[in-house]
Amino acid sequence: MHPGISNEAVWEKICVIDTENGSGSLYVGTVVGGTRIGEYLAIALEAPFSAARYLEAIEAAEDAGVEFLIIDSLSHAWSGEGGLLDMQANIAKRSGNGYTAWRDVTPLHNKLVDKILQCPMHVAATLRTKTEYVIEDNGQGKKAPRKVGMAPIFREGLEYEFSVFFELAQDHSAAATKDRTGLFDGQYFVITPDTGAKIAGWLGDADKNAPAPSAEKPQVKQQNKEPSESNPEPPSSEEDTRTLAEKVDAVMKACCTDITQEEREKIAQRMRAITGGTANYRAIVDERVLQAIYDEFKGAEA
């Protein structure tokens, strides 16, 4: 992307937000997949791991002209000292109500996720994992836990915010559990520089990969809602949900290509006005809101 500048200057367009006690800088000078790792930028983030401090670090990377940001690890923003869970527990202790404490915490969570989605950088984030269990009948009339795999340490659903989400095994092999690109479905492999090249190629070919608009107005499945006065329409199919969501995603990608940070913020403000508070359109499942987003921004596809 930058044939006219030095190799050293190219590496300075990469930044790691490091919450792992300086381990993010240990790769400088090593060789991975035939590529010698140069001296990239690093932001050392120590406790308290508040959402506000993550936001400051992301903005510092933006101001430095970073084009590829690595957050290692994002889990600290959730479960680390001073993270969102810590904040929720402290509020619950003061108020005596753990449920209502989320009213103060959820907006901060949404603001951090929105910032990652809307910032003008490519972003990769690592997450720690935990063993996940389900409680089910053991066949003897009792409930028992059963191990079902590993789950990322963060608020449920974060993996769906990313274009590609890899699970990494102890032998470094990767498997894509969510893949908007379609490049890695059903594969087990070790991530190399070629993996990044494939994703970059897909990003550069967004028009080809965008879904064709449907001739009919798609419907969205209303999860866990029965028809009522406020929700008169019956739930529609999961396939229709996917189609409308992908149309909105394609429109927003077209809208946010080659624009300034100020223009991005204006788009985010318009998005918040439509959704009632969030610029994270991928978190929206309501058909009418998705359709309103599409109608507002569809001119960007032209």
Q: Among candidates 177, 206, 181, 207, which has minimal Cα distance to 195?
A: 181
DSSP 266: H
Q: Is residue 45 domain-shared with residue 157, that is, in the same domain?
A: yes
pLDDT at site 149: 59
Specify whether 152 is located in the same domain as 245.
no
Q: Indicate the residue among 162, 180, 197 that finishes a domain.
A: 162
Mean pLDDT, all residues of the chain: 81
Q: What angle do CA 82, 107, 44 make, to 5 degrees?
A: 40
What is the identity of the amino acid at 284? I
- The answer on 150 and 15 residing in a single domain is yes
pLDDT at residue 88 is higher than 60: yes
Contact 151/129 with Cβ under 8 angstroms? yes
Are both 137 and 219 inside the same structural domain? no
Is 90 exceeded by the pLDDT of residue 203?
A: no
Q: What is the percent of the chain where pLDDT is above 70?
A: 81
Domain-embedded: residue 69: yes
Q: Decide which of 162, 177, 193 is a domain's last residue.
A: 162
One domain, residues 129 and 241: no
Which range has the worst mean pLDDT, 5-19, 46-60, 213-227? 213-227
Q: Quick one: 138 and 268 in the same domain?
A: no
Whether 151 and 11 share a structural domain: yes
Secondary structure (3-state) at 145: strand
SS (H, E, C) 88-123: HHHHHHHHCCCCCCHHHHHHHHHHHHHHHHHCCCEE
Asked, for residue 170, whether it belongs to a domain, the answer is no
Asked if the model's pLDDT at residue 284 lies above 90, the reply is no
Domains held by the chain: number: 2
Is residue 40 in some structural domain? yes
Residue span of the structural domain in which 21 resides = 7-162
Looking at the fold, whether 123 and 240 belong to one and the same domain comes out as: no
Same domain, 12 and 144: yes
Residue 148, classed as helix, strand or coil, is strand
pLDDT of res. 143: 82
Return the number of other C-beta atoms located less than 10 Å from residue 243's C-beta: 19
- Based on the fold, state whether residues 15 and 119 are members of the same structural domain: yes
Q: What percent of the chain shows pLDDT beyond 90? A: 39
Whether residue 214 sits in one domain with residue 158: no
If pLDDT is split at 50, 70 and 90, which confidence band does 289 have?
confident
Extended beta strands in the chain, E state: 14-18, 31-32, 35-36, 41-44, 68-72, 122-125, 129-137, 143-152, 164-168, 173-179, 189-190
